[in-house]
Structure 1
């Protein structure tokens, strides 16, 4: 018989009842060091007291009113994002998938609004992950994502990852936008080279195409800057954000320049729950904490410390690991074994990691993980690797 919960996940046989910072505590009392953070969601750890306070205070006031009315908490979060980024305007969503859908709609409306409705093609790169809606899987284009779900939304073209010559050749008078992740997460912690991001920006400027970034996983301080594209010194026209922005509470957003968003007037898009007071109260506190002086410098320092220790781990287990990739606290272990095997071995050592494509295991700890916890994490990964030798 089918389970009461639709069986679309291969779940580990572990259930968690509470968490404390970088630790998740299972129903049997076992403490797991969490280097997955709910797939880069729990950016400030489990049960962060600042976020608990923000949520509790708001929960005692008002939970939901819908976007038929002004929502001061949403306005505050949007203004914070505008103040800290390239954006002129923000639409608040519940998730990264919803953000991707709006980004696609915004691109299409941008060109229709300019009298070029035929300009619909959005160029993407293989290995991408933009969510699991029909539009988002069409954008990614991989067989695993799209098999049995056709017909797909037209207007997407997938190019080899990081191939600037292929991108240049694909650009045409039908190109509406180039959409990509500055660091692919599901694709295996694959960073787009800074020079390539600058080249994409230049090509978009030359052709008028919009540059759309998906920073759902790599944004919100994960790479040591508020957003990963900042390392390349470029700015997008549209950007999707989610995961870490809510610190564990469902929250996402689309950030855009005034020009890119000009066609999105009243009635062109909406959300019942998006931007609700609870989510935005938490998101605003997350923004305040990440924006504090020295916070991102600490992410970079801790990222360097973790990477240094991981390089030693790789050297100690050449039969298990090939190398380390990524930046900040968005790191990946390139494996010579199946990533699922290392993840499973980690369960035995009470450490949580996340598998990805390209034979990579992702390490996405809370941004406020301590030095001592980093040392403990690598020690547990060392023992897990020893189980596979």
Structure 2
């Protein structure tokens, strides 16, 4: 009797993998690091920030990764380090790492993230930021070993600016809140205006403590009087007044920015390219819609999983090297393969422009070209970044 040898193989991500019997068993633990006081308070419980924001996306991605990983003997797990301030987090993380390299997923404000990065990167770890949009982390305060899956403010405001310029809305009226994050968003709006040739006709700071639930119809029209403008841009990441600007401006103009027509990393209205199944799986597991930081957490873990699958390694530096290479591509329900920019570690990705009930557009807009990819027309291009990403 003739014996026929059969080679068992598995296709993962479009690539023929080695036989399962010959796969190298790997354990991949992702450490989630969060500053618990990082979430802004919401007086209306209905709009309260979910307690599991960011980590919910990571948990779904762990489940997804184990679905395919079990065939390759790859086991993914998620553990957490939390604290109310940077001192608590650093103390807990030192104990957790014990001088060993690790894979970290973070949702931290910039000041804490930089301290955590200094500690973890000295051990040979890799860090993926899924919670902080600070432009400085992509321009001047970068670190080799630190990657970003959440879109930067520059990517968001550039996506918005391209949409406006495509419609010839060139004159902007900007309203900013007084918090540091509001000012950072307003600065990003100014950068995008200069980059794409828009004119800011007036910029005002909202400094009132009026209860706008009672007085918006009276206060906002007076506040938005001024030279003619095509669109009103709101910079209110603190969510104190932005909800009262749409439909209350002196001139009948569209409102955009943190409120109105909003650029975001992710939104429930995305349905193309298989996104509906991701939205539904998330809702079935957590009973709410997937938010931008959830998606960024999902991207972070799936990026690690893709790198582990391709390299057959769980060494953080080896994974970082692959993630920053031209070989890395991630299918992520946005109609494009995503990759990290080698000059600052930011994940390239299309940016949805949404209103509360639906999708209006997806940037980059048609006609905005780039020598490498039109995705690099959003955010900081290589000549703008002063980073050294060697690691």
Which of the pair has the greater relative contact order for Cα pairs under 8 Å at 6+ separation?
Answer: 1
TM-score in terms of structure 2 length: 0.31
The structure with the larger Rg is 2
Structure-1-length-normalised TM-score: 0.31
